[in-house]
Structure 1
Amino acid sequence: MFKASGTNLLDLQAEQLSDWLKGFDTIISDGDGTIWFDDTPIEGAVEVLNALQSRAGKKVYLITNNGLKTRHELFQRAEKLGIQIPNEMHIISPTQTIVDYLKQHKTFDRTKRVYVVGNAAIARELSEAGIESFGAGKAEELQPGDKWQQFVQREFSTPTAAANVGAVVVGWDEYFSYCKLARACHILTSNPDCLFLVTNKDAVHKYPKLNIPGTGAIVAAIESCAERPALEMGKPNPLVLEPLLSTAGLRPERTLMIGDCCKIDVTFARNCNMQSLLVGTGSYQLDTLRENPQLPMPDVYLPKLGNLLPYI
């Protein structure tokens, strides 16, 4: 109806908006910047998600590229904020997508370990699935007086350094270092069958007063030296939607993707043949997009998700 037009829903008549909403059976919503900031809900967003379920009868799922929490931990956050989704199966998270992918991939040997450049949540998700990992949430740096040549010789001079590792998984890592980069590079270049998975490739995390390097910056370093691309387990890769397509009867043409980032959320919607609603509570507003035509235009726009509540 509004394909890639950037229509501001507040410019529509109430009846038009209501008819538009009836065109969807399923709602998939981003979390950070769309529903909450950290652990603080954005005004009206929680009420909209709950009303979409209780009043409008929609199926609601939350999707995030946040690899700092397990799916269960994200479900607990949603409950704490008052979001009334049925269970944690309604959370789509990169940590769970990684586990599902490893369990289903024919070449991954469950007896092998996973090297994690990332935080402890990845290790917890893997452990719950019975997959052993190492490296997550820990610092690995050159010691005082240690030279990189000594580190490489000590750590990688024997075949066991890369043996019995079936995958390298990368997430956001505040302890990222030369040593971790070298270890990931050595494992990946020593074993071409080793899987290379990442929670996301978000290059930068944007906050109102600052920007910090995102997971994509870490991934780019490893991809560069390993000379192979990583497979993304978060948006905008449509792979993350496959479990819902196969088990929940989701129809993309009757699904609405809500998010605050045009590069990730709007692109994800396009990749999955869903319609997109961009909210202006993140880094992108409608005026910004019209001034930058190279950015993907959403189908529809709202200043904030809470604006939708009167029309449900």
Structure 2
Amino acid sequence: MMSICIETLSAEGRRDFFNSFDTVLTDCDGVLWIMNNTIPGATQVIIDFKKNDKKIFFVTNNSTKSHVQLLEKFHSLGFQASVNDVINTSFLAAKYLKANLDPSKRVYVIGSPALACELNALNVKNFGVGEDYLKTSVPEFVDNVKLESDVGAVLVGFDDHFSYPKLLKAASYLKDENVLFVATNTDENFSVAGSDFVIPATGCLVCSVKCSAGREPFVVGKPSSYICNVLMETNKIDPSRTLMIGDRCNTDILFGKRCGFKTLLVLTGVNSLKDVEEWSKSDDPTLQELVPDYYAESIDSLRATFPVSS
């Protein structure tokens, strides 16, 4: 399977492509912005989609911000967005736990204050956010640690304060098969343009808990189809008329493929055209699944080539 380059489509091909979807789901970091810098043309593309009556949803695996905080970032960078347009994993995790957790139970959270904020907004009882470092030897810690008796779920997101005590507590709570194990996402690392560092992301924390607990989590973020189920329930989207735009193939593109969306990779983030070309030649179906239907140099290519008014 080969991807189609958006820039090489004929005028008729561009019209057919643009008319083939009613809903656009787009990732954020690496597609619309990098860190706090807007990718050129991104704000205008979103404006043009809306002018042409396309529904837009911003779908991010970021669990370090709440709905409100993310919306503030959109507005500060010049994007038109409402709170209902933004779907992030802190919100999704809270929504899932509200529906599936015994209300008499609490959630042990490895994650950011944003996760606690979203859980609190839905009246889901939780604890664990904040510092919890190992201050003694492990044997001494084990002798003195106290596990809470009312834990019904363990939720893992990105946590600046991830530590051995948190790992031990999470794995210990998960010994009980009735305790839910939920992860916001499994991204391996953060993309930081021009950096020599590999920045470990939430997936590394989730893997630590998986390994120690010997259990698999329910993942609410991409590439899980849970997001699609939520959108179909709340916004009645038609997967066959939906486009997913992303920069990371093992989350964004794989998510789109699993949900039956059209997929577009932009080359301003994690994955490159070289990656796509290698996967497209592979006989491995798991690698073939990472190949997008379309690719473009950046989201700005859509403004330059699609029949949208500026």
Asked if these proteins are the same fold (TM beyond 0.5), I'd say: yes
Cα deviation, residue 207, structure 1: 2.0
Q: Kindly indicate whether the alpha-carbon contact (under 8 Å) linking 1:114 and 1:134 is maintained by their aligned counterparts in 2.
A: yes
Does 2:212 align with 1:225?
A: yes
Cα deviation, residue 39, structure 1: 2.0
1:89-136 per-position Cα deviation (integer Å, ceiling 9, x unaligned) = 11111111111111211xx12232211111111011111111221111
- CA distance, structure 2, for counterparts of residue 247 and residue 173 of structure 1: 29
Does 2:292 align with 1:307?
A: no
Question: Which of 142, 150, 153 is matched with 2:143 structurally?
Answer: 153
- CA distance, structure 1, for counterparts of residue 234 and residue 104 of structure 2: 28
Does 2:162 align with 1:176?
A: yes
Amino acid at match of 1:298: P
Amino acid at match of 2:137: K
- CA distance, structure 2, for counterparts of residue 59 and residue 257 of structure 1: 12
Q: Kindly indicate whether the alpha-carbon contact (under 8 Å) linking 1:30 and 1:63 is maintained by their aligned counterparts in 2.
A: yes
SS state of the match for residue 224, structure 1? helix
Question: Which of 115, 119, 144 is matched with 1:126 structurally?
Answer: 119
Alignment partner, residue 191 of structure 2: 206
SS state of the match for residue 23, structure 1? coil
- Number of equivalent positions: 297
Cα deviation, residue 292, structure 1: 4.2
- CA distance, structure 1, for counterparts of residue 242 and residue 163 of structure 2: 41
Q: Kindly indicate whether the alpha-carbon contact (under 8 Å) linking 2:97 and 2:124 is maintained by their aligned counterparts in 1.
A: no
- CA distance, structure 1, for counterparts of residue 275 and residue 178 of structure 2: 43
Amino acid at match of 1:163: S
SS state of the match for residue 61, structure 1? strand
Alignment partner, residue 9 of structure 2: 12
- CA distance, structure 2, for counterparts of residue 37 and residue 222 of structure 1: 29
Does 2:152 align with 1:166?
A: yes
- Give the TM-score, by structure 2 length: 0.92
Cα deviation, residue 172, structure 1: 1.1
Q: Kindly indicate whether the alpha-carbon contact (under 8 Å) linking 1:6 and 1:286 is maintained by their aligned counterparts in 2.
A: no
Amino acid at match of 1:91: V
Question: Which of 100, 114, 117 is matched with 2:107 structurally?
Answer: 114
- CA distance, structure 1, for counterparts of residue 298 and residue 41 of structure 2: 8
SS state of the match for residue 244, structure 2? strand
Q: Kindly indicate whether the alpha-carbon contact (under 8 Å) linking 1:162 and 1:186 is maintained by their aligned counterparts in 2.
A: no
SS state of the match for residue 223, structure 2? coil
- CA distance, structure 2, for counterparts of residue 234 and residue 140 of structure 1: 26
- CA distance, structure 2, for counterparts of residue 102 and residue 173 of structure 1: 19
1:130-154 per-position Cα deviation (integer Å, ceiling 9, x unaligned) = 1221111x221221xx221111121
- CA distance, structure 2, for counterparts of residue 258 and residue 102 of structure 1: 27
- CA distance, structure 2, for counterparts of residue 287 and residue 185 of structure 1: 39
- CA distance, structure 2, for counterparts of residue 92 and residue 234 of structure 1: 10
- CA distance, structure 1, for counterparts of residue 180 and residue 141 of structure 2: 24
SS state of the match for residue 103, structure 1? helix
Alignment partner, residue 297 of structure 1: 291
Alignment partner, residue 43 of structure 1: 40
- Please list, as runs of the form range in 1=range in 2, the aligned pairs for 1:3-152 lying within 5 A after superposition: 5-54=2-51, 56-85=52-81, 87-105=82-100, 108-136=101-129, 138-143=130-135, 146-152=136-142
Q: Which runs of 5+ in 2 are unaligned?
A: none
- CA distance, structure 2, for counterparts of residue 112 and residue 216 of structure 1: 26
Amino acid at match of 1:127: N
Q: Kindly indicate whether the alpha-carbon contact (under 8 Å) linking 1:285 and 1:303 is maintained by their aligned counterparts in 2.
A: no
SS state of the match for residue 192, structure 1? coil
Q: Which runs of 5+ in 1 are unaligned?
A: none
Cα deviation, residue 162, structure 1: 3.5
Cα deviation, residue 273, structure 1: 0.4
Amino acid at match of 1:217: C
Aligned-residue RMSD, C-alpha: 1.4
SS state of the match for residue 196, structure 1? strand
Instruction: Point out the more displaced range, 12-21 or 64-73.
Output: 12-21
Alignment partner, residue 274 of structure 1: 261
Identity within the alignment, %: 34
1:150-179 per-position Cα deviation (integer Å, ceiling 9, x unaligned) = 1112114xxxx2411111111111211111
- CA distance, structure 1, for counterparts of residue 17 and residue 264 of structure 2: 12
